[in-house]
Copies of this chain bind each other. A is one copy, B any other.
Amino acid sequence: MTTGTRTRLSPAERRSQLLDLGVRLLATRSVDELSIDMLAEEAGISRGLLYHYFGNKHDFHEAVVRRAADDLIAQTAPPASGDPIQRLAASMEAYLSYVENNYEGYLSLVKGAVGGNDTLRAIYDESRAALTDRIFSEDAQGLLIKDTAVTRLLVRSWSAMSEELVLAWVADPGDVTRERVLELLTSSLPALVAASGE
């Protein structure tokens, strides 16, 4: 460990550090608002060096959004063992925290993906698919939900519901507590599966 403000990093480590900074900047601004100039200023390095790492603005945005999506998938991983509902609850708590902490960037990813930006769409679809697949792969015995064509459609729809619920609540919590939102997120999937009769 080096404790100084300057550390000697490999190019890969330096690039990774810059991506983390880019993701942090997305907490309070949209992908479109994130510029190489801004990152250069925050990182205290030249624009030229940033272009060395990221090529052009499009590649820069893609790399930052991909890192943000990877962070979302990593942070929402359920605990390795435990009761299925408690594992789901832990994952949903992490999802809510992620959206709270990265609101502007996450919202711009959703908007850009649905609105027709092909790069954002691809990353969004991949991360949605990863999160959906995980519901099934983490529950390979089907304790919470069996893997059928109907439950696949249901989990995909429930993801859209969870996204709307969290984005709407973070934008305007009104009288609804955070704890209540977590209860709604966690109870909804088992309730939908039970109602479907699958």
A contacts, CB < 8 Å to B: 110-112, 114-117, 149-150, 153-154, 156-165, 168-169, 174-176, 180-181, 183-184, 187-188, 190-192, 194-196
Contact = CB atoms under 8 A, between A and B. Distances in A.
A149 B161 contact: no
Nearest to A110: B114
Nearest to A163: B160
Majority secondary structure of chain A interface residues (helix, strand, loop or mixed): helix
A158 B160 CA distance: 9
Given A111-B116, A169-B153, A191 B195 contact: yes
Contacts of A165: 153-154, 156-157
B149 A175 contact: yes
A31 to B, nearest CB: 12
Contacts of A111: 114-116
8 contacts: A111-B115, A114-B115, A156-B165, A156-B168, A157-B168, A187-B195, A187-B196, A190-B195
A163 B114 CA distance: 13
A58 to B, nearest CB: 18
